[in-house]
Chains A and B, each alone.
Chain A
Amino acid sequence: MNRDVPTDPGQQRQALSALMDGDGSAADDALRGWRDDARARADWHAYHLIGELMRSDDVQCAPLHDAQFLSGLRVRLALEPVVLAPAALTRPDASARPGRSSRTWVRSMAVAAGFAAVAGVLVVMRPGGPEGAAQDRSPLLANQGVAPSASAAAPGTEGRLIRSAELDRYLAAHRQYNNTSALAAPGGVLRNAAATAPGR
C-alpha cells in the first residue's frame, strides 16, 4: 500500500505542524503521515488539543471523545465508495508522479478529502501583527470553525485576532462599561451575554 518513500518522522511532524499553521507547502508529507502512521495521527490530535488548551480556559472536552471520533471517521472513510475525486484538490505535481496507479491516487485523495474535512474544521490562525511572529509555530485555534478560505473572506474579520482567554479578560473589563450608553440595558445585557471564561 505504501509505495511512497518513507519520510523521516521528524520531518513529518514538522509538516503536520506547518499544515496546522495553514502552510500547505508540505501537505504531501503531512497527508501521507496522517494516512499511514498512527503515531502521526496521534500527534496531529495532540497538537490540536494543545492548541485548544492554549486558546481558552473554556475547554472541557474529553480527548478520548475526539480520538474516537477521528478513528470512527477513518473507518467510515475507508468504507465510503469514492464517487468523485474533488477537482479542487488536484495539485500541480500530481501529474508528475506517473508511477502511481490511479487506484492508489483515488484512495489517497479520499483520505486527503477526509483529512481536509477535519482540517477545515480545525482552523489554525496565528497571532501577531504585520511584523508577525512568523517563526512562532505554536498552534492556536481560532474561535470559530470556519474554513480558512471562508474566514479570509468572512465579513468583519479584519485581522489576526484570536478569541482567547487572554482577550476575554479585556473584553469582560470593556463590557462592564456597557451602561455608559444611553440605551443601557438590555442592550448592555444583550451585548454582555457573550460568555467569558474565569481566570484560572
Chain B
Amino acid sequence: MQRVAATSRLRRLLAVAVTAATVLWPLSGQAGATAVPPAATGADARNWLQRIHNAASQRNYQGTLVVTANGSVSSSRMAHYCEGKQYYERIDMLDGQPQRVYRHNDQVLTLWPAAKVARIEQRDVVALFPAVLSGSEDQLFERYDMLAEGGDRVAGLDAAVFLLRPRDTHRFAQRLWAEQGSGLLLRADVLSPDGRVLETAAFSEVTIGVKAQPESVLVPMKKLDGYRLVRDTPQRTALETEGWRLKAPVAGFNQVSCVKRSLEPAGDGERGASADVLQAIFSDGLTHVSVFIEPYRPERHRAGAGAVGATHTLMQPLGPHWVTVMGDVPMGTLKQFAAALERLR
C-alpha cells in the first residue's frame, strides 16, 4: 500500500513547498508467480475498465479535483452531465489565474476572465463513445497487466483499487481507484518504475448522480461579451504528408492523430503567429506521447529535458527543425521517439 503525504503551496514569495511522498509499494514483479497479487482476470479487468470509461461519460457528477505533482497542488471544481447523447462539462480552476473550461460535446471553450481571453476549440470525440474504446483497450492490455489490489476509501466513497503495471520499461504504471457502485474514477496515480508517485489526481469530494444542469454550461458558453475570441483549429494531416516518419516504431505506441496547428493564439503577431507546428500523437491505449515539429528558431528555442509532474518533455534541434517530445512516459521513451524521427524530404 502507499501513503502519500504531500504538499502545501503558498503562493508567490512565501511559497515553500514541502513534498513528502513516501511510497511503500511492495513490488511483486521480480518474484514472478510467487507474488502475483489477486489478479483481475482478463474479463474482469476489461469489465472494470469499461465501467470506469462509461461512468466518466455517462454519469452526472460534480466535485473537487486535486492534482498533486512535485509538491505543487492545483485544485478545480468540476461538473459533468450527460443527457441522452449530449455531454456537458464545467471546470473551474481554483488556484492561480482564474480559468474556466466549458465543454458541450466536442466544443470546448476556455475562458481566462482576468485576461479577457476566450479560446474555442473543437476536439476529437473518439473517446466519448464506448464503441470506439475496444481498440485502445486491446492495445492497453497488450502493454499493461491489470492487477486488483483490494478496496480503499476515497472522498468518502468505497473504491476498488487496480494497478496497471507496464510489461516493459517504456511506460509508467498507474494505480486507479474506481468507485464501487458506479465505476467512476476517484483517483489516479502515475508511478515511476521504483514506485514513487509522480503525480496524483483525485477527487477530494464528489457527488455522483446529481441532477443534470446543462444550462449551467450552455449559458456561460454564449456570454462572451468583452472577451477576445481565439480559435484553435488544428488541421488534420499525416506525418508522411508533411515529410516525416519514424524510422523505427516505439514499442506499443501507435500513431492516432497528426495535426498542423499554431501554438500561438491567433492575433499574437509579435512572435510570428504563422509558424505552424506539426503535432503527431502516439498512444499505447493508456497514455499518449506528442511529437511537435517546427522550424528551429535559436533566439527562442532552448534545448532541455525535464518533467512537470509525470509529464516528461524533451526539446532538441534536428537540423533546421525543432523537436519537442512530450508525454507521461519515462525520458528514455521520449528519447526513442526523438531518435526515430526522420526527415523524408
Indicate if A178 sits at the interface (CB-CB under 8 A): yes
* Complex interface: stretch among B212-220, B240-248, B308-316: B308-316
* Complex interface: stretch among A23-31, A89-97, A139-147: A139-147
Contact check, B13 vs A187: say whether CB atoms are below 8 A apart.
no
Number of interface residues of B (CB under 8 A): 99
Contact check, B96 vs A195: say whether CB atoms are below 8 A apart.
yes
Contact check, A61 vs B12: say whether CB atoms are below 8 A apart.
yes
Closest to B326 in A: A174
Q: Tell which of B70, B76, B117, B128 touches A157, judged by Cβ atoms closer than 8 Å.
A: B70
Q: Tell which of B15, B97, B198, B201 touches A195, judged by Cβ atoms closer than 8 Å.
A: B97
Indicate if B26 sits at the interface (CB-CB under 8 A): no
Q: Tell which of A174, A190, A191 touches B290, judged by Cβ atoms closer than 8 Å.
A: A174
Number of interface residues of A (CB under 8 A): 63
Closest to B265 in A: A199
Q: Tell which of B70, B91, B290, B312 touches A193, judged by Cβ atoms closer than 8 Å.
A: B91
Known: A173-B290, A182-B133, A199-B268. A143 touches B72 (CB 8 A): yes
Contact check, B70 vs A144: say whether CB atoms are below 8 A apart.
yes
Contact check, B80 vs A198: say whether CB atoms are below 8 A apart.
no
> Taking the nearest CB of chain A, how far is it from the CB of B94, in angstroms?
9
Contact check, A194 vs B71: say whether CB atoms are below 8 A apart.
no
Cβ proximity bits B202-235 to A, threshold 8 Å, 1 near / 0 not: 1000000000000000000000000000100000
Contact check, A194 vs B290: say whether CB atoms are below 8 A apart.
no
Q: Tell which of B70, B80, B185 touches A156, judged by Cβ atoms closer than 8 Å.
A: B70
Q: Tell which of A157, A179, A184, A185 touches B307, judged by Cβ atoms closer than 8 Å.
A: A157
Contact check, A184 vs B127: say whether CB atoms are below 8 A apart.
yes
Contacting residues, chain A, for B67 (C-beta < 8 A): 190-191, 193-194
Q: How far is the CA of A91 from the CA of B150 in the complex (A)?
A: 54
* Complex interface: stretch among B35-43, B48-56, B151-159: B48-56
Closest to B186 in A: A186
Indicate if B279 sits at the interface (CB-CB under 8 A): yes
Known: A146-B71, A180-B256. A189 touches B305 (CB 8 A): no
> Taking the nearest CB of chain A, how far is it from the CB of B179, in angstroms?
11
Contact check, A170 vs B65: say whether CB atoms are below 8 A apart.
no
Give B297-345 interface residues, CB cut-off 8 Å to A. 302-313, 315-316, 324, 326-328, 331
> Taking the nearest CB of chain A, how far is it from the CB of B22, in angstroms?
11
Indicate if B287 sits at the interface (CB-CB under 8 A): yes
Closest to A163 in B: B308
Q: Name A residues whose Cβ lies closer than 8 Å to a Cβ of B.
A: 57-58, 60-61, 66, 69-70, 118, 120-122, 127-131, 133, 143-146, 150, 154-163, 167, 169-171, 173-174, 176-200
13 CB contacts below 8 A, A to B, read: A121-B13, A121-B15, A133-B302, A146-B17, A155-B196, A156-B196, A156-B309, A158-B312, A161-B304, A170-B313, A193-B93, A197-B97, A198-B99
